[in-house]
Chains A and B, each alone.
Chain A
């Protein structure tokens, strides 16, 4: 088969000598199981040419042909000997049944939990599984691959593959970002924008496992791995200064906060919105950086991204039919699952005749082990001057507490 070299260069990228990106770009996805992917994503797969031709991970099922097309530009798929499954979530494993039909590999490498998850997804006990333990090494010719289990980062089956001679870490979902681009490397795109996608990914996917992230970074440091490049399964590959993303993960995993407060509200007739603005005033007066987010326009996953370095989270909802507004219930359910730590919390809201929302929000904050300030501010219908002053005072009180908690 003749291949136009220009075309090959454009779409299949050789990230290291003999290591090719053969994934797919998903320009159009906007909702990734509840995470807003405003700029799409990529599903990265890597093909390594050696005595044993090895493919690392696959792509989401609808993109199977994009991947096969990319593989064909490098090699006949049937020449692939090994498939490594670092993570079984369907955005990386969804094409495995069809790829295995085309490839018929000699072995499918995965962790013990990975084998179980593959069986639980695809119900095929006839695949040539080869379970590897953490620390196990295999030779594929000139290269040695070592496997490192990373349980719960972010599924029980997750693992990293490290190509020793290339000093290349194929890191599965860790260090990834949801960002569809035609570029493949971090040094080809805007750095701050890349970091904004990386922190959103961390906050929405890895935050609950921050303790494990710290342990993993410590373990990897002890192993003294030389890392020249980090290739995640989503987004850009960290080619220039790959350690910057490891350092950023360490920082995010500590959940260190700034002198920053997040005010989040939903509103029916602007009363709760007025209260949010008054709380904002009190915080700004106290010298606190404030981010105000309205659930009418701000997506839950963007709220969580702002939460990661905020010391206080102040949440307001009116009462509708004896409860909070449904978008707020959605956010609190999502936030609780992501297990933020060491936050200050306070609740506020307007009500007509019953006013349960504020109490419900405060209860939810207690379940998240936040330090909750007072019983919140609950105002009937449209708040008057006195009612808004209570909100300003709440902002001031929390502002003082943030300053005491966080040294300048």
Chain B
């Protein structure tokens, strides 16, 4: 599964790790993240991410 980079702060969403602190299980594809999910580092919304 593809990794996505936050264009605001540079955080990389890795589907293999998910975002457990915010209730996203490892193995969750970027496309399957909830629409209101935000970058755990800077709070940018999903639209601010691009494929790595």
Contacts and interface: CB of A to CB of B under 8 A. Distances in A.
The size class of the interface chain A forms with chain B is under 10
Interface residues of B, number: 6
Interface string A142-157: 0000000101100010
B8 interface: yes
B43 interface: yes
A151 B9 CA distance: 10
B16 interface: no
Interface string B26-52: 000000000000000111100000000
Given A149-B43, A151-B42, A151-B43, A156 B9 contact: yes
B8 to A, nearest CB: 6
Nearest to A113: B41
A156 B8 contact: no
Contacts of A113: 41
A209 B43 contact: no
A113 B42 CA distance: 9
A211 B43 CA distance: 13
A209 B41 contact: no
A212 interface: yes
A64 B8 CA distance: 33
B14 to A, nearest CB: 18
Nearest to B8: A152
Contacts of B42: 151-152, 156, 212
A363 B10 CA distance: 22
Contacts of A212: 8, 42, 44
19 contacts: A113-B41, A149-B43, A151-B41, A151-B42, A151-B43, A152-B8, A152-B9, A152-B41, A152-B42, A152-B43, A152-B44, A156-B9, A156-B41, A156-B42, A209-B8, A211-B8, A212-B8, A212-B42, A212-B44
Interface string B1-17: 00000001100000000
Which of A113, A149, A151, A209 has its CB near the most chain B CB atoms (within 10 A)?
A151
Interface string A214-237: 000000000000000000000000
Nearest to B11: A156
Interface in A148-174: 149, 151-152, 156
A211 B45 CA distance: 12
A207 to B, nearest CB: 13
Given A149-B43, A152-B41, 8 more contacts: A113-B41, A151-B41, A152-B9, A156-B9, A156-B41, A209-B8, A211-B8, A212-B42
Nearest to B48: A211
Interface in A75-107: none
Contacts of B44: 152, 212
Contacts of A209: 8
Interface in A196-212: 209, 211-212
A212 B44 CA distance: 9
A152 B6 CA distance: 12
A161 to B, nearest CB: 18
Nearest to B41: A156
